[in-house]
Amino acid sequence: MKRMWTLTVVGFAALALFVAGCSQEAREAPPNKDAIADKAKEKTKAEGEHGHKAGTHGGTIVEIGRDNYHAEAIFGEKGLVRLHILAKDEAQIQEVEQQTLDAFAKADGDTKGVPFSLESKPRPDDSKGKTSIFEGTLPESVRDKRVTVTVTAIRIEGGRFRFDFGNSEAGKPHDEVKMPKSGSAEKMKTLYTTAKGKYTEADIKANGAGKTAADVYGNEMTDHDDNPQPGDKICPISKTKANPKITWIIGGKKYEFCCTPCINEFVKKAQEKPDQVKDPGFYVKQ
């Protein structure tokens, strides 16, 4: 009798373990394949959209190596292509070893890309042997067209990365491509009509009684000379050579900038961090 009772208990225990195991398997069943695919699509879409953000210099931010690094790609006059290399945090400049970047520019509708190179153009404050900027010139056959540029490899901190970027508008000379907007028209209007910090009512009147930088200068921008010489005036925001045609009054003094987005940022700084705004004479290359 005792033996039968023991076998019965063991049998019930085995059954309980079997049922528990089935329940655990049910709870740990893999998610629906369609759900996984949808999430992957959402991630891919999000990563693709990341490459359309506007940069500080009026270019487009693109990813390098699954968001490990970034570059701001700028298309300028006469086929100029400039890359500002940025860190994972897009507000930080990323220095890389000086190198030549091999690239291909393919116009929409073409089957083959045309080769060209992007050379190191170090900023004055880049470390020795390092650069944070590359420049090249589009081949004449693809200038003034909508193009996709593929950089076949860039070396960053021991890694090698391939990435793509393109210009934004087809059929226009690059110097006519519009600058990305820094904010809505309403937001910009509020910025430029708000007297605060070092930005005064007198400044607002002197700058056109409430006009924004875009109202005054439209899409005009400099060629972003990243190698200003001693004595040259520099943009307070980008530290590139200032354009004497692009000025703004702040604190009753005239400042020169490289482009209108930098005026936006400097006005905001004058309002919110006035102690960081120096006299115009401070913004000169030493």
CATH number where 102 lies: 2.60.40
Classify 220 as helix, strand or coil: coil
Q: How large is the average pLDDT for residues 49-62?
A: 68
Supply the pLDDT for residue 23: 47
Percent of the chain with pLDDT over 70: 72
Q: What is the pLDDT of residue 28?
A: 47
Predicted local distance difference test score (pLDDT) of residue 222: 58
Residue 246 lies in a domain: yes
Number of independent structural domains in the chain: 2
Query: Do 56 and 166 reside in the same domain of the chain?
Result: yes
Which of 148, 174, 200 delimits the end of a domain? 174
Same domain membership, residue 191 and residue 249: yes
Does one domain contain both 59 and 170?
yes
Query: How confident is the model over 54-63, as a mean pLDDT?
Result: 81
| 272 — pLDDT class (breaks 50, 70, 90) | very high
In a domain? residue 114: yes
Name the average pLDDT for the chain: 80
Distance between CA atoms of residues 152 and 27, nearest Å: 46
pLDDT score, position 173:
37
CA dihedral over 279, 281, 285, 286, signed as positive or negative: negative
Long-range contacts, 234-243 (Cβ 8 Å, 24+):
234/283, 234/284, 234/285, 235/259, 235/262, 235/283, 236/262, 236/266, 236/277, 236/278, 236/283, 237/56, 237/262, 237/265, 237/266, 238/56, 238/57, 238/262, 239/123, 240/57, 241/285, 242/283
Grouping H, G, I as helix, E, B as strand and the rest as coil, residue 180 is coil
* pLDDT, tens only, 20-38: 454 444 444 455 545 544 5
CA dihedral over 239, 242, 248, 252, signed as positive or negative:
positive
pLDDT at 219: 57
Handedness of CA 62, 162, 93, 73 (dihedral sign): negative
| pLDDT, position 186 | 85
- Quick one: 158 and 239 in the same domain? no
pLDDT for res 11: 52
> Which of 152, 174, 196 is the endpoint of a domain?
174
Q: Is residue 8 part of a domain?
A: no
pLDDT tens per residue, range 119-171: 999 998 899 999 999 999 999 999 888 899 999 999 999 999 999 999 864 33
pLDDT at 223: 60
Query: pLDDT (tens digit, 9 = 90+) per residue, 189-244?
Result: 999 999 999 999 999 999 998 899 988 987 565 566 767 888 999 999 888 889 99
pLDDT of residue 54: 63
With beta carbons less than 8 A apart as the criterion, state whether 154 and 160 touch: yes
Residue 51 has pLDDT above 80, yes or no: no
Residue 99 falls inside a structural domain: yes
Identify the domain boundary among 174, 207, 238. Answer: 174
Domain check: are 92 and 114 in the same one? yes
225 and 269 assigned to the same domain:
yes
Written as six digits, the tokens of 78 are 């006469």
Q: What pLDDT is attached to residue 56? A: 73
| Alpha-carbon torsion, ordered 220, 226, 227, 231, to 10 deg | 50
Containing structural domain, residue 150: 49-174
Return the pLDDT at 204. Answer: 96
Q: Cα(280)–Cα(230) distance, rounded to whole angstroms?
A: 15
pLDDT band at 178 (very low <50, low <70, confident <90, very high): very low
Q: Which amino acid is at 15?
A: L
Q: Do 157 and 235 lie in a common domain? A: no
107 lies in a domain? yes
pLDDT of residue 1: 52
pTM, 2 dp? 0.46
Residue 258: exposed, middle, or buried by beta-carbon count in 10 A (0-12, 13-18, 19+)?
buried
Are residues 166 and 64 located together in one domain of the fold? yes
